[in-house]
């Protein structure tokens, strides 16, 4: 443990919210996780457009008319709407209302790495009308990657740190990691952290072009099968997840209900291929997170794997997990087997999923895990819902460009 450790603040989680393809609030999601329910469907629109795979996670768009005024809505893309609903739930759970937000400095760090539809639509208008003035006022605020943090900070009148973390499929995890570091350093007391991911063909077409998606279109709910021998690619998905990170002192002062404690953040960059993951980078991130937490591999009761259901990615992560946890073989599952790959959102949502497991004493299944391959057979992968007391867990998230993030979270105890 660092000699300066006692000068650092403890960072706790006091609220969570989720809007996902397996449920539109914590209760629904907990139910889906314990039932092993998939949110993957076949989207016929994608087939017509020329997608190689029309599989996707799907959730209806929130209806915010009547809840938010027009000016607050017109600048918000769909992932911002998901994030608004998730953040409302998280703030409510944390016991934070608008009056508190108006009187205290609260920040936002949100993971997001695309906003395709507003870009496409606004340029379509320009091409047709040949006049930028016909684009209107909303698209600029919808089309920037920072669309989620910029809109939520205005809606909730936030006056703390405010920006978006774009780290590909590790965005949401890095957002939580950075929020943890800022609070730990004493620079902020409360930060809304999370991740958001748009669901639409426009944002995933160029990804589909990489042959990375599962084509098991005849059987959508069995298409995402992380670690399984017969996995054939990922299924894109989306939604949003928020967690309220807070210094222990602030939570105590408010009398807030403490749900868990963030104790470790590890990160690394592979420094290799733009899309092919490796073993060393993820291993380094996990080791760094463990070291930061002051805990041993054997202290982890659960690992929420990044595993997206791609051949190379799952294999390399399995190898990395085995390198770090091979002695104790903690239970491992990838909730992407149910949700699909929530990309920019995944690092945050998977913290929420794992927190729900910790709260309700179960490990959610890695559905569709039927046969391991040579490498994945080294892990203790949980194929069916299993009762378990989770005192601490590690959550992995990796992204294009070789960005890696690992978070260690444990039950709170004084």
Partner 1 sequence: MQNDEIINKINQLLIEEIEIDEEQIRQDADLKRDLGIDSLDFVDLFVIIENNFGFKMKAEEMTDVTTLQDFYSYVIKRVNPN
Q: Name the site residues for partner 1 (rule: CB under 8 A).
A: 69-71, 74, 131, 133-138
**Helix 171-184 × helix 346-360 angle, to 10°:** 70
Provide the minimum distance between the beta carbon of 70 and partner 1 in the complex, in angstroms, as a whole number.
4
Provide the minimum distance between the beta carbon of 156 and partner 1 in the complex, in angstroms, as a whole number.
19
Between residues 1 and 133, which has the closer beta carbon with respect to partner 1? 133
Sign for the CA dihedral angle at 400, 342, 111, 70 comes to positive
**306 tagged catalytic:** yes
Provide the minimum distance between the beta carbon of 11 and partner 1 in the complex, in angstroms, as a whole number.
37
Chain centroid, CA 140 distance in Å:
25
Say which of 5, 306, 360, 391 is annotated catalytic. Answer: 306
Q: What is the chain's alpha carbon radius of gyration, rounded to the nearest angstrom? A: 20
- Report H helices in 133-190: 139-143, 147-155, 171-184
* CA–CA dist 358, 353 (Å, integer): 9
CA distances from 52 to 57, 215, 217 (A): 16, 7, 10
Say which of 5, 174, 341, 391 is annotated catalytic. Answer: 341
* CA–CA dist 325, 24 (Å, integer): 34
Strand partners, 386: 363
Between residues 135 and 394, which has the closer beta carbon with respect to partner 1? 135
What is the DSSP code (8-state) at residue 147?
H
**6 tagged catalytic:** no
**193 tagged catalytic:** no
Contact criterion met (CB below 8 Å) for 197 and 240: yes
* CA–CA dist 173, 111 (Å, integer): 8
Between residues 121 and 373, which has the closer beta carbon with respect to partner 1? 121
Contact criterion met (CB below 8 Å) for 403 and 306: no
Between residues 143 and 366, which has the closer beta carbon with respect to partner 1? 143
Contacts from 64-67 at CB under 8 Å and sequence distance 24+? Answer: none
Provide the minimum distance between the beta carbon of 155 and partner 1 in the complex, in angstroms, as a whole number.
15
Between residues 60 and 131, which has the closer beta carbon with respect to partner 1? 131
Within 13 Å, how many C-alpha atoms sit on residue 213's CB side? 27
Q: What are phi and psi of 10, to 5 degrees?
A: -80, 145
Provide the minimum distance between the beta carbon of 98 and partner 1 in the complex, in angstroms, as a whole number.
20
Say which of 5, 169, 360, 391 is annotated catalytic. Answer: 169
Provide the minimum distance between the beta carbon of 71 and partner 1 in the complex, in angstroms, as a whole number.
7
Provide the minimum distance between the beta carbon of 135 and partner 1 in the complex, in angstroms, as a whole number.
8
Between residues 8 and 154, which has the closer beta carbon with respect to partner 1? 154
Between residues 136 and 186, which has the closer beta carbon with respect to partner 1? 136
Contacts of 133 (CB under 8 A, 6+ apart): none
Q: Point out the residues that are catalytic.
A: 169, 306, 341
């Amino acid at each position: 443990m660092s000699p300066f450790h006692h000068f650092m603040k403890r960072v706790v989680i006091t609220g969570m919210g989720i809007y996902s393809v397996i449920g539109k609030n914590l209760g629904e999601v907990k139910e889906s996780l314990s039932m092993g329910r998939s949110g993957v469907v076949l989207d016929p629109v994608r087939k017509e457009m020329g997608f190689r795979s029309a599989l996707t996670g799907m959730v209806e768009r929130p209806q915010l008319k009547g809840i938010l005024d027009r000016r607050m809505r017109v600048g918000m893309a769909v992932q911002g709407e998901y994030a608004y609903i998730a953040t409302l739930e998280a703030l409510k759970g944390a016991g934070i209302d608008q009056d508190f937000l108006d009187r205290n400095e609260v920040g936002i760090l949100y993971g997001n790495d695309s906003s395709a539809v507003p870009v496409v639509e606004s340029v379509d208008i320009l091409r047709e009308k040949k006049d930028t003035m016909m684009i209107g006022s909303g698209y600029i605020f919808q089309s920037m990657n920072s669309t989620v943090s910029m809109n939520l900070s205005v809606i909730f009148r936030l006056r703390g740190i405010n920006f978006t973390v774009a780290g590909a499929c590790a965005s949401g995890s890095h957002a939580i990691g950075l929020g943890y570091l800022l609070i730990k350093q004493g620079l902020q007391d409360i930060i809304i952290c999370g991740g958001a991911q748009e669901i639409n063909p426009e944002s995933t077409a160029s990804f589909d072009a990489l042959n990375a998606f599962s084509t098991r279109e005849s059987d959508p709910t069995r298409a995402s099968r992380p670690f399984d021998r017969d996995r054939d690619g990922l299924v894109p998905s989306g939604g949003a997840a928020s967690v309220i990170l807070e210094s222990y002192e602030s939570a105590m002062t408010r009398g807030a209900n403490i749900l868990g404690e963030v104790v470790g953040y590890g990160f690394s960059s592979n420094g290799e291929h733009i899309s092919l993951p490796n073993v060393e980078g993820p291993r380094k991130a996990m080791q760094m997170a463990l070291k930061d937490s002051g805990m041993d591999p054997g202290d982890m009761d659960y690992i929420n794997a990044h595993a997206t259901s791609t051949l190379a990615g799952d294999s390399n992560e399995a190898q990395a997990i085995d390198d770090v946890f091979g002695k104790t073989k903690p239970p491992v599952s990838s909730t992407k087997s149910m949700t699909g790959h929530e990309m920019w959102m995944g690092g945050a949502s998977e913290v929420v999923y794992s927190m729900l497991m910790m709260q309700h004493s179960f490990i959610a299944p890695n559905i569709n895990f039927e046969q391991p391959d040579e490498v994945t057979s080294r892990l203790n992968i949980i194929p069916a819902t299993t009762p378990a007391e989770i005192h601490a867990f590690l959550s992995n998230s990796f992204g294009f460009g070789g960005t890696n993030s690992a978070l260690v979270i444990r039950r709170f105890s004084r």
